[in-house]
Copies of this chain bind each other. A is one copy, B any other.
Amino acid sequence: MDLGTVIGIVLIMALLLGAMSMGVGVGAYIDIPSVLIVVGGSMGALMISFKPSQMKKFTKIFMMAIKPTIEDEVELIKKLVDFATKARKDGILALESEVNNEENVFLKKGLSMAIDGSEPDTIRELLEIDAEQASVRHKAYGAIFNQWAGLAGAMGMVGTLIGLVAMLLNMADPSAIGPSMAVALLTTMYGAIIGNVFGTPIYNILATRNEDEMMVKQMILSGIMSIQSGDAPRVLEAKLLAYLAPENRVSQFD
């Protein structure tokens, strides 16, 4: 579980519930029909906006944002440099057992192709298509949450308008105006909370995770090309370390 996400959500919820309980109590802010309009309405609009095959992954993507699988880039560089050293000494075929135990499917696929003797251009083209299409898919998943932010806000406004119209047509009892208006405003509030606690932030973090993954894939592609062409492991390491922030650059050759 990503600590930042958990702390973030807990912090916001604690603050909002605290603010609500200070005034009229949390109960006054809960209205099931309003929740249904905003959550159900925005989900409905998302179902029109995206393919069923994309929407099916909604909760899976949500969990991935909260509990991401993170690649340790320092370890990855170490591994790629080790591979390059071994391949230079004993030939690329010597990497066969390493490939079989490799868990990163992208690295595994590229390296098996190299061992099988595929042309470098073929490996590069295939891995680039793979990385690019994965990024296209990930961006589409992120777009779901970005759209959710906008559509939840819009459905919140529609809900408030429905409530306002009802209130305006029922102004005989002045004491009912306040409470009616209060309920009408709840959908706008739900829309803003969904959009700014789940929609936009999860869109942001998914975009960052995708960029990280793309960088890792670029590093792997660079590594495989170097291993196949028999470059010096030292040069490969220098190139891969250039991807990292200066404080994370540790060479195994020093």
Which one of A78-86, A88-96, A123-131 is at the B interface?
A123-131
Contact between chains at A11 and B40 (CB < 8 Å): yes
A162 within 8 A of B: yes
| Count of identical protomers in the assembly | 5
Q: How far is the CA of A183 from the CA of B121 in the complex (A)?
A: 65
Number of interface residues of A (CB under 8 A): 101
**Residues of A in contact with B (beta carbons under 8 Å apart):** 2-5, 7-12, 15-16, 18-20, 22-24, 28-29, 33, 36-37, 40-41, 43-52, 54-55, 65, 105, 113, 118, 122, 125-127, 129-130, 133-134, 136-137, 140, 143, 147, 150-151, 154-155, 157-159, 161-166, 168-171, 175, 178-179, 181-182, 185-186, 188-189, 192-193, 195-197, 200-202, 204-205, 208, 211, 215, 235, 238-239, 242-246
Chain B residue at minimum C-beta to C-beta distance from A113: B238
Chain B residue at minimum C-beta to C-beta distance from A22: B33
Contact between chains at B41 and A165 (CB < 8 Å): no
Closest CB in chain B relative to A134 CB, distance in Å: 8
Given the known inter-chain contacts A37-B19, A52-B4, please indicate yes or no for A197 contacting B45, CB distance below 8 A.
yes
Contact between chains at B105 and A158 (CB < 8 Å): no
Given the known inter-chain contacts A47-B5, A201-B48, please indicate yes or no for A165 contacting B192, CB distance below 8 A.
no
Given the known inter-chain contacts A45-B200, A147-B204, A235-B122, please indicate yes or no for A4 contacting B158, CB distance below 8 A.
no
Q: Most chain-B CB neighbours within 10 Å: which of A7, A45, A185, A245?
A: A45
Contact between chains at A200 and B150 (CB < 8 Å): yes
Closest CB in chain B relative to A162 CB, distance in Å: 5
Q: Most chain-B CB neighbours within 10 Å: which of A19, A154, A195, A208?
A: A19
Q: Most chain-B CB neighbours within 10 Å: which of A28, A162, A196?
A: A196
Contact between chains at A16 and B158 (CB < 8 Å): yes
